[in-house]
Copies of this chain bind each other. A is one copy, B any other.
Amino acid sequence: MKPFCFADGKIIATEAAALHPSDLGLIRGYGIFDFFRTVNYQPLFLEDYLDRFIRSAERTYIPLAYNREELRTIIHQLIQKNDLKEGGIRMVLSGGISENHFSPGEGKLFIFAESLSFPSEDKYQNGIKLLSLEYVRPVAEIKTTNYALAVWHSAGWKKQGAEDVLYYQGSYISESSRSNFFIVKNGQLITPDSNILLGITRKNVIELAGGAQIRPVTFQEIRDADEAFITSTTKVILPVTQIDDLKIGTGKPGPVTLGLLERFRAMVSQNTSVNS
Q: Are A102 and B154 in contact (CB under 8 A)?
A: yes
Interface centre among A21, A24, A101 (most CB of B within 10 A): A21
**One of B7, B29, B147 near A147 (C-beta < 8 A):** B29
**One of B14, B29, B139 near A146 (C-beta < 8 A):** B29
CB of A143 to closest CB in B, whole Å: 12
Verify if A95 is at the interface (C-beta below 8 Å from B). Answer: yes
Verify if A174 is at the interface (C-beta below 8 Å from B). Answer: no
Q: Which residues in window 99-133 of A have CB below 8 A to B?
A: 100-104, 108, 110, 112, 114, 117
A114 to B102 alpha-carbon distance, docked (Å): 14
**One of B101, B110, B139 near A21 (C-beta < 8 A):** B110
Number of copies: 2
Verify if A263 is at the interface (C-beta below 8 Å from B). Answer: no
Interface size class of A (residues with CB under 8 A): 35 or more
CB of A258 to closest CB in B, whole Å: 26
Chain B residues whose C-beta falls within 8 Å of the C-beta of A33 in the assembled complex: 27
Given A17-B21, A20-B18, A151-B24: A29 touches B100 (CB 8 Å cut-off): no
Could you jot down 8 A-B contacts, CB within 8 Å? A18-B19, A27-B92, A29-B145, A30-B151, A61-B152, A90-B101, A144-B148, A146-B149
